[in-house]
Structure 1
Amino acid sequence: MDDRPAPAAPQADPDALRHAEKMAKKKAARDRIMAGKEGEKGLIIVHTGSGKGKSSSGFGMILRCVAHGMPCAVVQFIKGAWDTGERRLLTTHFSDLCRFHAMGEGFTWETQDKTRDIAAARAGWEKAKELIRDPAIRFVLLDEINIALRYDYLPLDEVLAFLRDEKPPLTHVCLTGRNAAPELVEMADLATDMTLLKHPFRSGIKGQAGVEF
C-alpha cells in the first residue's frame, strides 16, 4: 500500500480565472444582443473621408461577394480609365460573378472639360441604376461617385430618391469617395469616415502598385 500523500491539485492562476470570468460575461452579453438580430436588409454603405481605404474597402466587400457566389457589380466614376489591380483581377477571373464598368475618364484637372465629365458621370449613373435594379445582382459598388456628386456632375436629389424608392430591398449599394454629402450619410445604414493620419505622397513617394492601384 502506498502511504505517500496524494499530490496537491494545481492552483488555478487567479489572472486566468478573472480573464475567463470576464470573457464569459462578455459572451453572454454578446449572445443576448445577437439573439435580437434576425432581420436582413440591403444596406446603403458610404465610405468617405480624407484617409486611404475607401475604394479598397469597397473592393474588399466585392471579393467577399465573389467568395460567397453572390452576383455583384462595379461602376467606377472619375478614375475609371485607370488600369487597376482590382479591375484586372475581377475582369480576368471573376467576370461571371462581377460585372465591371469603368465609366470615368480621369479627374477634372486631367480632362479639363466639365461638359465631358458630366456626360461620363451621367453614363455611369445610368449604368448604375440598371445594375441596381437587376434582381440577380446582390451588391453594387459605386466607386468615387461621391466625387461626381461633390462637383455637381450628378444631381444629389436624384441619387437619393433612387436609392430610397427604387433600390430592391435586399440589394446592397456601397458609395465611395471623399466629401460625401451629409444627406447621403444620413440615409446610409453604414457610414465610415476614414481619417488621414499619414500618407507617403506627402513625403514625395508616388502611388505604389498593389497599394494604391
Structure 2
Amino acid sequence: MQMNSDESALNARHAEKMKKHKAAKDKMLAGKTDDKGLLIVHTGAGKGKTSAALGMVFRHVAYEMPVAVVQFTKAPEWVTGEAILLRRFPDIVTLHIMGEGFTWETQDRERDIASARAAWEKAKELIRDDRHKLVLLDELNIALRYDYLPIEEIVSFLKEEKPAGKHVIITGRNAKPELIEIADLVTEMTLVKHPFRAGVKAQKGIEF
C-alpha cells in the first residue's frame, strides 16, 4: 500500500527525531565507564519489592554468577515459589531463610530481635566473602523499622566493609533515611490498587 505524503513526512520527522535521540544517548553512554558493586534499596508500600530484587538474582543465576539470599521475615517452614526455584541451583545460590514469621504473629520482641541478629550476622558473612557477586537481604527494612537492629551498625558495615565489587539489595517497606542516603539505587514502589483490599487473598505464584 502506497503511503500518502502526510505519512511520508511524519515518518521522515520520526526518523530524524530518533536519529538525534540515538546520538544523545550514545554520547551519554560513552561517559559511563565505571563498574562498581551497588547498594540497592527497594522500598515503599506497593507490591513488588522482593519480586524485583529476585529478578536481579535470577539474572545472576542465568550468568552462573554466585548469589546469596538472606530472608529476614519469611520462616523456613513457609513454602514460596522463589525458595523452590532457588534450591534448584545449589552450586550457584546460597539461601538462608531465617525469619520467624511476621512480628504480629510471633508477638515476642526478644525472639524477633534474636532472629534478626542471627540473620544479620549471616548476611555480614556472605557480604564479606569473595564468592558471591550479589547478596539479597530480603525485608531487612522490616527489622530496621522495629529497631530490632541498630541502623547505625548496618550503615557503618555497608560503608566500611562491603567489598567494592559486590552488589547488595535490601528490600522492605519504610527504609530508613540513613540507608537511603548511602544507597546507589533506590526504588519506591507506590501502591495504586491491591486486590487484598477487595477481599482477594494472597495467591500462589503472585504473592508467594
TM-score interval, normalised by the smaller of the two chains: over 0.9
Match of 2:181?
A: 186
Aligned residue type for 1:196: L
Match of 1:85 among 81, 85, 89: 81
Q: Does 1:150 align with 2:145?
A: yes
Percent of pairs identical after alignment?
63
Give 1:200 shift.
0.4
What letter is aligned with 1:84?
T
Q: Which whole-Å CA distance do the structure 2 matches of 1:14 and 1:143 have between them? A: 52
Normalising by the residue count of structure 1, what TM-score does the alignment of the two structures yield?
Answer: 0.93
What is the aligned length? Answer: 203
The equivalent residue for 2:100 is 105
Q: Distance in 2 between matches of 1:79 and 1:99?
A: 16
- Separation of aligned partners in 2, 1:80 and 1:37: 41
Q: Which amino acid aligns with 2:163?
A: P
Task: Say whether 1:64 aligns with 2:54.
Answer: no
1:15 aligns with 2:10: yes
Q: Secondary structure at the match of 2:96?
A: strand
Tell me which amino acid in the other structure corresponds to 2:83.
R
Instruction: Give me the whole-angstrom Cα distance separating, in 1, the residues matched to 2:183 and 2:18.
Output: 33
* Distance in 1 (alpha carbons) for counterparts of 2:122 and 2:80: 20
SS in 1 for 2:186: strand
1:80, distance to aligned residue in structure 2 (A):
3.4
Partners of 1:177 and 1:139 lie apart in 2 by 17
TM-score under structure 2 normalisation? 0.95
Q: C-alpha offsets along residues 25-70 of structure 1, whole Å, 9 cap, x if unaligned?
A: 0100000000001110100000000000000001111000001111
5+ residue gaps, structure 2, are none
- Name the CA distance, whole Å, in 2 between partners of 1:78 and 1:114: 13
**Shift of residue 97 of structure 1?**
0.5
2:127 and 2:80 map into 1 onto residues whose CA distance is 23
For residue 149 of structure 1, what is the amino acid of its counterpart?
Answer: L
Q: What is the RMSD of the two structures over their aligned residues, measured on CA atoms?
A: 1.1
In 2, Cα distance between equivalents of 1:132 and 1:164: 12
What is aligned with 1:3?
A: none
